[in-house]
Amino acid sequence: MAPIKLAVVGAGPSSFYVASRLLSLLPRSGPHASSLKIHLYDRLWAPYGLVRYGVAPDHPEVKNCTHKFDEAATDPRLRFFGNVNIGTTSPFSYALPLSLEALMPYYTHILYSTGCTVPILHPALPPSRYCIPALSMVHWYTQHPSKPSPPPLDRTSHVTLIGQGNVSLDVARMLLTPPDHLAKYDVPMPVLDILRRSAVQHVSIVGRRGPLQAAFTTKELREMMNLPDSSMVPLDPALLAQVQGASLTRQQSRTLQLLQKGSKNKPGTTAKTWSLDFFRSPTGLTTPVSPSDKARLTLAHTTLDPSSRAVPTGESSTLDTDLVITSLGHRSELSAPWYDPALGHLRTVSGRVVNADGRVVRNVYASGWAAMGARGVLASTMMDAYAVVDTILRDHFPGEDVQTTAASGPESAADKAAEADALEVLPKEVDLDAIPPEVEAGLKEGRVTDFEDWRRVDAEEIRRGEELGKERERMDWEEAHNFLTKTRT
């Protein structure tokens, strides 16, 4: 049987779930062990993607999946190459550029697992110093290599978040939690310094629909209710009464109970407050004429039509605020291969990449948000990754029972027909150990990182954190590069 030499573009959670699953289903003691190689490429110098640069610092338990990823990386059949940007334009000048065409001759299979890295903007709220995407905030407090500018929190008393998903609540919680409570977590010291100078007194969390349609989870809402130094502005009882008779899911019932109970701290007892502003949709933002003025956000009042879509009532109101943060979801990069603008992510069928003409691209796959769009949590990402692995193995070992799950179901007649008409873009035979010469040179120069580099950085970040009494103290690329250069000599 021909080998599987898989290049994975992206090294976030979906990539590692795919890799670890393949390694476990084709174990080193099995008959196919010697014909499997997996190479993970990422334009970031460190692995784990959103687990490192997207999970809120005060949710360390969510990062426990990295133990599984670390275990997979001990398998010699898996290699990681950081600081390698495949195909698309990189925002990092120090990343090694490598075209997809230069990568293809070295691999029999390719998996795109690049996530959704571009924030969806509100058409009525163009980015400005008064309006930024939530991704910039998240990247700021996780010290993402994109290095967004710190928010002017020392001059900001009122923040308005547009969108009522978990990311909005993460940002609100980071702004309202006492910095001394955050200090034990994975929050970089420069971020803590700015949070300690913060003047934020109120955070408005705006959504165009009602409490039953809000996208945040009960867990995130409960954390907001239990903030130590903040209280929730009570909701209008009439708003909650409107949904009392509705047929509710378990989560909706719990959400409603929390909203009825309110925050642990009673209104009027705290200096900092927050609010959930339902049935409001932004229509414009007027910037202040002088530094002492606030921006003015115009909000259309909405209601739900019979299909639960938000529609304007004709009424409107304004909200004075210092900073608007939009949290409306994400899409893949427009320049990503096989990107479908109508979907906001890559075109796929059962994990197989499909071109614009609807033809399957043989042995090219996609997983995670790159294939599904920016939705779901780590558990759903894992199940999707396992389903894609089933597809890869079913394609490569037709008729053999090498997979242990059937999450993606048996191959259909349509799948077989699509495979029969698939485009051939990858070689069937390759050198299992070879990598592109540009990557080989980058490793020797120290420009490209491998997993051993990451292990050293990881241990050093944890050591520095222990000295400060916290989870870890992060390095940026310049610090990591200097540290690795010294440890290599």
Angle at which helix 451-467 crosses helix 477-488, to 10 degrees, equals 110
Distance between CA 89 and CA 91 in Å, rounded? 7
Per DSSP bridges, beta strands 339-340 and 345-346 are antiparallel
For residue 69, the surrounding DSSP H or E stretch is: helix 65-73
Distance between CA 45 and CA 35 in Å, rounded? 28
374, 9 in Cβ contact below 8 A? no
Annotated binding site for FAD: 14, 50, 86, 369
Sequence letter at residue 400 = E
CB within 8 Å of 100: residues ≥ 6 apart: 86, 87, 337
Helix (H, G, I), strand (E, B) or coil at 240: helix
Asked if residue 49 lies in contact with residue 369, where contact means CB atoms within 8 angstroms, the answer is: no
Both tokens of 168, joined, read 């909005």
Buried b (16+ CB within 10 A) or exposed e, 204-226: bbbbbbbbbbbbbbeebbebbbe
Burial 249-270 (b: 16+ CB within 10 A, else e): eeebebbbebbeeebebeeeeb
- Which residues are documented as binding site? 14, 50, 86, 164-167, 208-209, 220, 369, 376
Asked if 205 and 221 touch (Cβ cutoff 8 Å), the reply is no
Known binding positions for NADP(+): 164-167, 208-209, 220, 376
* Distance in angstroms (rounded) separating the CA atoms of residues 305 and 488: 63
- Other Cβ atoms within 10 Å of 239 Cβ, number: 14
